[in-house]
Structure 1
Amino acid sequence: MKNKLPENNSTRLASLDILRGFDLFLLVFFQPVFAALVRQMNLPFLNGILYQFDHEVWEGFRFWDLVMPLFLFMTGASMPFSLSKYIGTTGSYWPVYRRILKRVILLFIFGMIVQGNLLGLDSQHLYLYSNTLQSIAVGYFIAAVIQLHFPFKWQIGITLLLLLAYWIPMTFLGDFTPAGNFAEQVDRYVLGRFRDGVFWNEDGTWSFSPYYNYTWIWSSLTFGVTVMLGAFAGKIMKEGKANRKKVVQMLLVVGLALVGLALLWSLQMPVIKRIWTGSMTLLSGGYCFLLMALFYYWIDYKGHTRGLDWLKVYGMNSITAYLLGEVVNFRCVAASVSYGLEQYLGGYYSVWLTFANYLIVFFLLGAMYKRGLFLKV
């Protein structure tokens, strides 16, 4: 826990905190409130918009499928700034690895808490690897090792090798169906009964759910690629602060190139977010580069932060925001003080409770921000 606000120096880019905050705001405020409102209003023209705020069932890509990749991408974007700082102070790798391993372990524990399994102390519902925070932990570790021990050209090569390593068995040892893909088989073999989606029968036997088709073990390779793409964006921004216009141009060019390559690759390997295919990795990475270019241009190049600084409440306490939004239910608090509104709001009362739940989260994050309290892992 850090007890003071970061200094406003030239090494800290406001666009990083604000874009990260935008991502978390979508996740722990806008989407759940918007979805609750649209369902209650039942207006057909809004259903098309709401469709984009849910995950694609299998092949394809919706707006909501960008939220998790952007979370990983922003983790990588901060790494060129943070890793060099810790290495430079000691000249030894051990302090930075100690910090890296601490972060990985904590993110895995937080991820298990978010899934609702760890604190239940029920071995039948203990899932080892099934959460966004855990994918960040693994992607972060892979990216950290690459950046700590290899020069930039090698980093690009190793990132490409990760994509190749993912692609070979996915192409030649399976297909791209929910049940037949190689990543699915790896998860079933490695995680077994500790895989999310497992259900238990009355006789004590267990089975894999046919409806759960997210993969994590083999997809860790492409998680690492997503974080590395963010690290490349961070390196561009860190080394280009003397010419920020060029930084914007480079971010745009790389983003467009990645989108183009992804669409071309999707002709062979479909864009499937649930198994984090290589084409999905490049497509989402390209979109992340384009978003980063937009936010960097407007905030760090043009210097416009008016109306956006409040997003730092989420962005500078992203792990806290995620944990509060996903774990703690404040609806009971809202209901206990506003139950009298139900007779006036009717069906919209549930919308109000959803709104109040995430409003309380925002106020808590805002109070932490004003006091300089940030959860650092």
Structure 2
Amino acid sequence: MKNTTTKHRLDSLDILRGFDLFMLVFLQPILVGLLQKINNPSFQGILNQLDHEVWTGFRAWDLVMPLFLFMAGAAMPFSFQKYRLDNNKWPIYKRIFRRVFLLFVLGAVVQGNLLGLNPKYLYLYTNTLQAIGIGYLIAAIIQLYLPTKGQLIATALLLLLYWAPMTFLGDFTPEGNFAEKVDRFVLGRFRDGVYWNEDGNWSFAPNYNYTWILSSLTFGVTVMMGAFAGRIMKDGKDKLRNVQTLLIVGGACIIIALIWSLQMPIIKRIWTCSMTLYSGGISFMLMGLFYYWIDCKQHTKGLKWLKIYGMNSITAYVLGEIINFRSIVQSVCYGFEQYLGNYYSVLINLGNYLIVFFILRELYKRGVFLKV
């Protein structure tokens, strides 16, 4: 934790990141819990969009993680500016490896059972924060050593390096895709979804089909797409032209993704090339809309509270995922259970995430932000 200022920051970056985190750690858990209790078939379409696609296809909730990675990249041109031309790269090396290390540790805390202190149930690479760390590392190396044209070529090569083995060494089914084979071979029993049999041996869970090792290539592409968006906003002198560029690039990525999906389907769970471009295209367009409304038109009324999430996004994610404040809420709200019935759990969840929000707000007011 450290104090920092907001000078020279783009409000749209912080607010869009805050919107993404607000959806993840507040709105979706509360809204899904409420709609499930109402149990009205007319809400099923909303519930479907607030859950991940089972395999092929793309839902609104599938955008949350790619947008998180995209926003990590969008900030890089601003934070890397003073390092690119410096012959002494040691300070930025320390920053990069420190960030990757901390993201891996926090990811293991959130989803890898690190706090369980039992190696039998430890998972090494299985979380959004770890995906950001690897994507950030790849994008950092590309940006530090290559000019803009070289960065574009390197990003395209990452897509091809993922596409080739996925196309020729497997298929696009949950069991037969090559990324699944790589994860099982490399991570072994440290892969998420592993379960232990009564005889003491372990097996891969058939219903866990997220991939990480080979998908790191496309994680890097998603972060680089964010970096290109950040470069447009940083270097472009005409803000309206920047907006147009962001929207045009986003639309082009979506069109390419839909064409590519005829050969390589859009599958978020294994981060296919078509999904990478599709989610990246939507992220470009969202960035363009937020940049236009907030940084061009200066319309921030009613939106600045999202910076509470956006400027402490890692803290928001970790608190929302691992700290359970429900017992505190229950200790003061238990009397409402007799009146709320099945909806009592919705109140408890709401109180849990409100406590997270007030913690974040207090940190924001004091200018304290977790920087990894």
Report the TM-score when normalising by structure 1. 0.97
| 1:270 match: secondary structure | coil
Aligned: 1:292 with 2:280: no
> Contact between 2:112 and 2:192, CA under 8 Å: does it hold in 1?
no
- In the TM superposition, residue 142 of structure 1 has moved relative to its aligned partner by 0.1
Equivalent residue in structure 2 for 1:150, among 132, 146, 152: 146
Aligned-partner residue type, residue 74 of structure 1: M
Amino acid at match of 1:327: I
Give 3-state SS (helix, strand or coil) of 2:195's partner. strand
- Does structure 2 retain, via aligned residues, the 8 Å contact 1:4–1:371? no
Instruction: Work out whether residues 175 and 181 of structure 1, in 8 Å CA contact, stay in contact via their aligned partners in 2.
Output: yes
Corresponding position of 1:172: 168
- Structure 1 CA distance for aligned equivalents of residues 294 and 327 of structure 2: 38
SS at match of 2:2: coil
Correspondence for 2:55: 58
How far did residue 86 of structure 1 move? 4.0
SS at 2:77 equivalent:
helix
CA deviations over 1:326-375 (Å, ceiling 9, x no partner): 00011111001110111111111000011111111000000000000000
Superposed CA offset, 1:21-68 (max 9, x none) = 000000000000000000111121111111100000000000000000
1:145: Cα distance to partner? 0.1
TM superposition shift of 1:6: 2.3
| 1:197-346 alignment runs, 5 A limit | 197-240=193-236, 242-346=237-341
Aligned residues: 372
Task: Determine helix, strand or coil for the equivalent of 2:208.
Answer: coil
Structure 1 residues 74-153: aligned runs within 5 Å: 74-87=71-84, 91-115=87-111, 117-153=113-149
TM-score calculated relative to the size of structure 2:
0.99
Gaps of 5+ in 1: none
User: Partner of 2:80: helix, strand, or coil?
Assistant: helix
What is the deviation of 1:199? 0.5
Distance 1:137 1:222 in 2: 13
**Counterpart secondary structure, 2:203:** strand
**Using the alignment, how far apart are the partners of 1:367 and 1:86 within structure 2?**
32
Deviations along 1:217-267, one digit per CA (max 9) or x if unpaired, are 000000000000000000000001x21000000000000000000000000
1:108-162 deviation digits (Å, cap 9, x = unpaired): 0000000151011111111000000000000000000000000000000010000
Match for residue 25 of structure 1? Answer: 22
Is structure 2 residue 362 aligned with structure 1 residue 367? yes
Q: Distance in 1 between matches of 2:331 and 2:84?
A: 50
CA contact (8 A) 1:80 1:235 kept: yes
Q: Retained in 1: the 8 A contact 2:112–2:123?
A: no
Query: What SS is found at the alignment partner of 2:232?
Result: helix
Distance in 2 between the 1:128 and 1:346 partners? 40
How far apart in 2 are the matches of 1:103 and 1:45?
Answer: 44
Deviations 1:66-114 (A, max 9, x none): 00000000000000000113456x5411110110000000000000000
1:376 aligned onto 2:371 = yes
1:49 alignment counterpart: 46
Q: Distance in 1 between matches of 2:280 and 2:357?
A: 28
User: Separation in 2 of the partners of 1:52 and 1:323?
Assistant: 23
CA contact (8 A) 1:116 1:327 kept: no
Structure 2: gaps (5+ residues):
none
CA distance, structure 2, for counterparts of residue 46 and residue 212 of structure 1: 27
- Identity in percent: 68
Runs of 4+ in structure 1 displaced over 2 angstroms? 4-7, 85-88
What amino acid does structure 2 have at the position aligned with 1:233? A
Aligned equivalent of 1:72, options 48, 69, 79: 69
CA distance in 2, matches of 1:160, 1:3: 38
